[in-house]
Amino acid sequence: MGGLRAASPSPSGAGPDTPQPAPPHVAMACVVASEVATVLAVMRRNVRWAGVRYDGGGADEHLDHPLVAGLKSLRRRAAGWGGGGGVDPLLYLRPFLDVVRSDETGAPITGAALSSLHKMLSLDLVGPAAPNVAGAMGAVVDAVTGCRFEVTDPASEEAVLARVLQVLLACVRGRAAPALSNRHVCAIVSTCFRVVQQAGTKGELLQRVSRQTMQEVIRCVFACLPDLNATVVADEQIASWKGQGLGAGELDNGRNDYVCLNSSGDEVEGGSGVAQDKTMMELFGVPCMVEILQFLCSLLNVAEDIEVKPRMNPIDFDEDVPLFALGLINSAIELSASSIHRHPKLLAFVQDELFRNLMHFGLSMSPLILSTVCSIVFTLFYHLRHELKLQIEAFFSCVILRLAQSRYGASYQQQEVALEALVDFCRQKEFMAEMYANMDCDLQCSNIFEELANLLSKSAFPVNSPLSALNVLASDGLVAVIQAMAERTNSGPRHHDQTVPEISEYFPFWQLKCESSKDPDQWVKFVNQQKGIKRKLMVGVEIFNRDKKKGFEFLQGVHLLPEKLDPHNVALFFRYTPGLDKNLLGDYLGNHDEFSIEVLHEFARTFDFKEMNLDAALRLFLETFRLPGESQKIQRILEAFSERYYEQSPQIFVNIDAALVLSYSVILLNTDQHNVRVKKKMTEEDFIRNNRRINGGNDLPREFLSEIYYSICRNEIRTIPEQGAGCSEMSFSRWVDLMWKSKRTSAYIACNSCPFLDHDLFSIMAGPTIAAISVVFDNVEHEEVLTGCTDGFLSVAKLAAFYHLDDVLNDLVVALCKFTTLLNSTDSDDPVTAFGEDTKARMATEAVFTIATTYGDHIRSGWTSIVDCILKLQKIGILPAHLTGNTSDDQDSSDLLPSKLASSSAAAPPVFPVSAPKKSYGLMGRFSQLLYYDPEEPRSQPTEEQLVAQRNASETARKCQIGAIFTESKFLQADSLSNLAKALIQAAGRPQKITTSLDDEGTAVFCLELLITITLKNRDRIVLLWQGVYEHIAHIVQSTVMPCNLVDKAVFGLLHICQRLLPYKENLVDDLLRSLQLILKLDARVADAYCENITLEVTRLVKANAIHIKSQMGWRTVISLICITARHPDASYAGFEALVFIMSEGSHLSPANFVLSVEASRQFAESRLGSTERSIHALNLMADSVNCLTRWTREVKEAGGEVDRILEGIAEMWLHLVQALRKVCTDQREEVRNHALLSLHRCLVVDGISVSSSAWLMTFDIIFQLLDELLEIAQNYSPKDFRNMEMSLLHAVKLLCKVFLQSLKDLTTQSGFGKLWLEVLAMVEKFMKVKLRGRKLEKLQEAIPELIKNVLMVMKASGILSKTKTGENSLWESTWLQVNNISPVLQSEVFPDNDGNNATQGEQNKSDTPAQSDQSAEQ
């Protein structure tokens, strides 16, 4: 056997590896002498010990008693012990031991001797290095355990028993304890227990001392296990330990005159042979520990039938024998569990006998016993779960799940203890994950994880009663599991994404084991595969229970049975698949067809009946199905059983028939004993007689048959076993089967801190967990419980986001929002105070917004509830200021869009508490306030409690960081962002027609501000939001007929969006600008109120984004907004500023906006709202724009290609410019009118624009129209309205002549040139003859002849005008007819009498015509 590697710690506190120096011999001599004197003094109190007369005829008549003589001799020798070698401890211990052993001594003397022994052991006089230390320690134990003394009074007896306990404890505590043998340790434990038994009839103090001492002894013994070397012990040795050394028999010592702690008077178990056992004589180690545990388990069995008597000591009620034994076992396991796995035989005992007893006592009605059992199992799980896989499954199935539910008859106390134990397990971070991996994913285990999760979630719901401690306890367990999962998300990969390939063909999967339970890459794939198989099996079981044929077909279809059924695989399916209908299974196994018979025999071969009694084997066999009622089926089933049992136990029966006959007989006995209709029961003799000579003509051993008889009588073989797998009691046969399976089951998988399986776990738990925690949160008021629930909610949110279970997160958000009380429709007089006083509501609110800001990516429909909560907080006025629009800047870092209204606009009203009185505006409103004002009623001040509540409410709103939801919305996923925008739009509402200020306008404005904020923050994803935002703003604009704050936010929010987004979204420029057309649809009153500010915003937009506006539609929208301002007194200045920015120097003019810009300039030029200088500036812009046309023409020609169409477009723009200027030329203001004529002249005579002949003809039509209008104005309108029209007419005539000269070359090619020329002369003639106020205009009279003369000279030089013989309709004649009406002298001046020379000269000067023409134009 293994010995100690290091000494046990000594009471002095020295370390186990620190050698303690032996006490000085002089000190030892003093101690010995002192103790001898003490014992002798006590002995001398009784005269019988003073001297003894012997009639032996010796010399001395008075001799000392041998006990006294021995003590005196020791005293003399001790004085002579000086230096030198060590002293054998037996020399100074034996006299005291003799006193202890003697039955002649009374209790005081024995107590004194025991005290001396205790002192010498405590002072380490018996050290580990002393000579013959093992013999000395053995002698001490033998003497003390065999202590005999005369009882004089109860008090002294109790004192002696206490001294015995002290000495025995000192033996196992001292440094010489390793010298004890296994037998002596067992004797110490046995003696301590006998003292405990005897103390039951003694005083309370001794009872407590004895129990505590035995606890200490057990602790000292098992504390040595970590220091023991692991060795292999033969099975025979372990078998020899059992039943030796310790017993639980009760002693009848209360009425004797003598007390003997040893039942035999000499040895611990006199005659039992322990002393002769070599193993038990070795230094103490694993054998004695196994023996002690065996002894403690036997205490459980012996004490099972002990009844607590009414007059027993109260301690008997609290600490009865089973509880005491379990407490000792708990102490032993606590100290040794971490090392048990290194000692196979100790581990084997724990796995089998110890755990079986724990399972049995786990169903005790005593909460104390149940609690102790759960503590032991918890310790075993913590240290030995790798070796106790199936035992742990059985404990949860048969104990925890059974006792934690009232439907199985458990009391409230049992339920509470079971749930407390389960919660302790759940607080182990990997517990649930390991249960899932090892149980739920094992084909032969029940779904422990699912059952425990369901138990916790159901237990959290109160049933027809208020919330109880059980409900809160179950909620704590759920929260612990969820929090453990949430912590694991911080470390490791997500193995849940690993897909397991579908099974393509059948393979033997029943005994499949994982190649490596430590490599996650392998075991994760393995358990996922097993779980997939298990799910399909469960589906197959459901189908099979309804229809066997369809069940087999399904299992074959999913490759869980081979395509061609064979008996072996069908038998495995029947044997290892839980949930099968046992009635159906029994009928199938009993069928007479060949295939069913083969399946039956294969089914029997799956059982292991080795070392099992026939009744136990039969119990195990019949528990798997229901034995059918037909005798033939019973015959076939028992034949298969007998064949298998005989195959594995041939030493009992001579043939199979013997096993079959006895099996039949056992079934009959079972029916006879447990059928209530059988009145006359079979006796033992009847049963033995019925089975005579069945074993090949011989009788079976009577003891064998008697054991079977009484086993059947005590425990019925249930031929109708329980359906299902869970919550059934653990019978002995089932336990034997479990131990058989435990040797073949796959290795226990330990889950580390990585979330390998948590996706599956959370998917199962999420819904029930939210519901359970919500129920507790709703019904509890204790802040600590509320905090735990809140932590659970946040952990659920974290997991839902981590595994992208958006539905779970949305359900959680909706549930939490209900707890905020912000969605309640009931109005309170002081909602802020009510919210601040409600701790639960504030905690729920913080949780909601923590989830929203942290896991908003995965919120979908939940945004609706969140937005409703935000609106309620805004309504009661506790949101931070920046969330109510009180921002000062619109930079990127600002939270929300500030109002763009100037001081003339109505500002957003501040948010007041609901209880605040409303303000009245206007004269009558103020007057009515004065009428009803009562100065004697001061406004009530809030109390201190209200102030605290309001501060709490504000602090909660601050902690929520609601603004971050919107300012950080750019990080939200697309779906989440879209749902947030939809929630805001939905919350804002859609009023049909807004005629006055809305009651809930503040809500609509607030929602709009938030909507605009997220739009601006998500410029890169504007496509997701734009349609909804635009439609919302469009509805507001189109339904508003009066100015209000809502339409203000809508209009300027739209402008702000366009300003910010145009530079970044080229593909959306047209859509953004098209949206501005909504402003053009504003009601006149609304437009008038906001026109100036709209114009300012448009101006900013143009200045910042002109280069980004490319399309004609976009420019049309922008310029339309600018044009509107031309006639608005306050907005025209800003609008003209924008126009100047566009047209100045042509920097932003383009073919897309040229015509629009010219038209806008015309409107500003004609507008009388601005100054004359602005109109002239507008005309200059129009005139300067012609430079753009010349530049574009040049660029087109240089580029080459198909230029005609482009040049035609430029010519059309030029015509639009001409037409626009013509309209201004009739302006009432002189300066504007004359400047317009000059600008028109400038545009018409510009060079570089390709104007076709037809275009020139159209131009002259425009000019003729202009001149006619000017003549009409001059003749028909008052000079007061149109001042100095003479100058305007002069400019017009000059314009006509110069334009004619400019286009002369192009016009001569036209067939209608002559007609045009005559129209020009006719128009000039009109101007020559015009009269104002009855007189001709002198300036016209002077200028017109010269102008016509210049034209004629150019025409003459160009050869256009010459004397021909064409008749009276010729150009020559027609010209002079008209010219003579203007000035008769012009012909002679232009064509002197030398007509021929003039003609020749004309031909020669044709090449000079352009230069002359240009010169004339300049003149």
1373-1387 confidence digits (pLDDT tens)? 778 887 888 888 877
Of 971-975, 1298-1302, 1413-1417, the least confident? 1413-1417
Q: Are 225 and 246 in contact (CB under 8 A)?
A: no
Q: The tokens of 106 are what?
A: 């009374």
Question: Average pLDDT, stretch 1084-1098?
Answer: 87
Which residues, in sequence order, are CB contacts of 1261 under 8 Å at separation 6+?
none
Question: Average pLDDT, stretch 485-504?
Answer: 72
Q: Which of 359, 461, 370 is nearest to 420 (CA)?
A: 370
Q: pLDDT tier at 1237 (50, 70, 90 boundaries)?
A: confident
| pLDDT (0 to 100) of residue 27 | 73
Helix (H, G, I), strand (E, B) or coil at 270: coil
pLDDT at 1242 over 80: yes
Of 575-589, 618-632, 1177-1191, 1258-1272, the least confident? 1258-1272
Which residues, in sequence order, are CB contacts of 392 under 8 Å at separation 6+?
377, 381, 385
Q: Can you state the angle between helices 1313-1329 and 1338-1358, rounded to 10 degrees? A: 160
Taking CA atoms, 1223 is separated from 1180, 1218, 1226, 1266, in Å, by 15, 9, 6, 8
Q: The tokens of 167 are what?
A: 């000495």
72: amino acid identity, one letter: K
Compute the mean pLDDT over every residue in the chain, rounded to the nearest whole number. Answer: 81
Helix (H, G, I), strand (E, B) or coil at 228: strand
More confident residue, 393 or 1255: 393
**Hey, which of 371-375, 616-620, 1230-1234 has the most confident mean pLDDT?**
371-375
Exposure b/e, 87-121, CB count within 10 A at least 16 = b = bebbbbbbbbbbbbbbeebbbbbbbbbbbbbbbbb
1080: amino acid identity, one letter: L
DSSP states of 1113-1166? HHHHHHHHHHHHGGG-TTTHHHHHHHHHHHHGGGSS--TTTHHHHHHHHHHHHH
Regarding pTM above 0.85, the answer is: no
More confident residue, 1372 or 428: 428
- The C-alpha atoms of residue 506 and residue 511 are separated, in whole angstroms, by 14
- The C-alpha atoms of residue 941 and residue 857 are separated, in whole angstroms, by 44
How many other CB atoms are found less than 10 A from the CB of residue 1104?
14
Q: Which of 349, 391, 404 is nearest to 239 (CA)?
A: 349
319 CB burial (10 A radius; 0-12, 13-18, 19+):
middle
| pLDDT (0 to 100) of residue 599 | 94
Taking CA atoms, 1375 is separated from 612, 1267, 1326, in Å, by 144, 21, 15
Phi and psi, residue 61, nearest 5°: -85, -25
395: amino acid identity, one letter: F
How many other CB atoms are found less than 10 A from the CB of residue 1168?
12
Q: Can you state the angle between helices 783-802 and 806-819, rounded to 10 degrees? A: 160
| pLDDT (0 to 100) of residue 1312 | 78
pLDDT at 797 over 50: yes
Continuous segment of H or E residues that includes residue 1051: helix 1045-1061
Phi and psi, residue 1331, nearest 5°: -130, 140
**CA 1322, chain centre distance (Å):** 93
pLDDT at 252 over 60: no
Q: Are 202 and 316 in contact (CB under 8 A)?
A: no
Q: pLDDT tier at 920 (50, 70, 90 boundaries)?
A: very low
Q: Are 400 and 453 in contact (CB under 8 A)?
A: no
Of 735-749, 802-816, 1095-1109, 1245-1259, the least confident? 1245-1259
- The C-alpha atoms of residue 559 and residue 599 are separated, in whole angstroms, by 19
DSSP 627: P
| pLDDT (0 to 100) of residue 39 | 87
Q: Which of 447, 392, 381 is nearest to 760 (CA)?
A: 447
pLDDT at 1364 over 80: no
The distance between the two most distant Cα atoms of the chain, rounded to a whole number of Å, is 209
pLDDT at 418 over 90: yes
Q: pLDDT tier at 896 (50, 70, 90 boundaries)?
A: very low
Residues linked to residue 181 through DSSP beta bridges, in sequence order:
283
Q: Are 845 and 852 in contact (CB under 8 A)?
A: no
Q: pLDDT tens across 73-92, in order?
A: 888 887 777 543 478 888 88
DSSP states of 845-887? HHHHHHHHHHHGGG-STHHHHHHHHHHHHHHHT-S-GGGGT--
Q: Which residues are catalytic?
A: 630
Phi and psi, residue 698, nearest 5°: -110, 165
Which own/partner contact pairs does 1205-1210 have at CB distance under 8 Å and 24+ positions apart? Answer: 1207/1250, 1208/1252, 1209/1151, 1210/1151, 1210/1249, 1210/1250
Q: Are 453 and 464 in contact (CB under 8 A)?
A: no
DSSP 47: G
| pLDDT (0 to 100) of residue 269 | 38
Which 3-state string (H, E, C) describes 179-220? HCEHHHHHHHHHHHHHHHHHHCCCCHHHHHHHHHHHHHHHHH
Terminal-to-terminal C-alpha distance of the chain: 137
538 CB burial (10 A radius; 0-12, 13-18, 19+):
middle
Polymer length of the chain: 1419
| pLDDT (0 to 100) of residue 730 | 80
Question: Average pLDDT, stretch 318-340?
Answer: 87
Question: Average pLDDT, stretch 45-60?
Answer: 56
Question: Helix H segments across 274-411?
Answer: 278-281, 286-302, 314-318, 321-340, 344-349, 355-361, 367-384, 389-395, 401-403
pLDDT at 496 over 50: no
- The C-alpha atoms of residue 479 and residue 427 are separated, in whole angstroms, by 9
393: amino acid identity, one letter: E
- The C-alpha atoms of residue 83 and residue 677 are separated, in whole angstroms, by 87
Q: The tokens of 51 are what?
A: 């001297």
Of 185-194, 886-895, 1114-1123, the least confident? 886-895
Q: pLDDT tens across 676-715, in order?
A: 888 888 999 999 999 998 988 898 999 999 999 999 998 8
| pLDDT (0 to 100) of residue 11 | 40
CA atoms within 13 A on the CB side of 1072: 29
Residue percentage of the chain with pLDDT more than 90: 29
Exposure b/e, 145-157, CB count within 10 A at least 16 = b = bbbbbbbeeeebb
pLDDT at 818 over 60: yes
Continuous segment of H or E residues that includes residue 258: strand 258-260
pLDDT at 917 over 90: no
Q: The tokens of 302 are what?
A: 């012996």
**CA 65, chain centre distance (Å):** 85
pLDDT at 1072 over 90: no
Q: The tokens of 1309 are what?
A: 């090619």
Of 88-102, 674-688, 723-737, 995-1009, the least confident? 723-737
| pLDDT (0 to 100) of residue 907 | 34
**Hey, which of 209-218, 907-916, 993-1002 has the most confident mean pLDDT?**
209-218
Q: Which of 1289, 1300, 1295 is nearest to 1340 (CA)?
A: 1289
DSSP 921: -
Q: pLDDT tens across 953-1000, in order?
A: 999 999 999 999 998 898 999 999 999 999 999 998 876 665 555 556
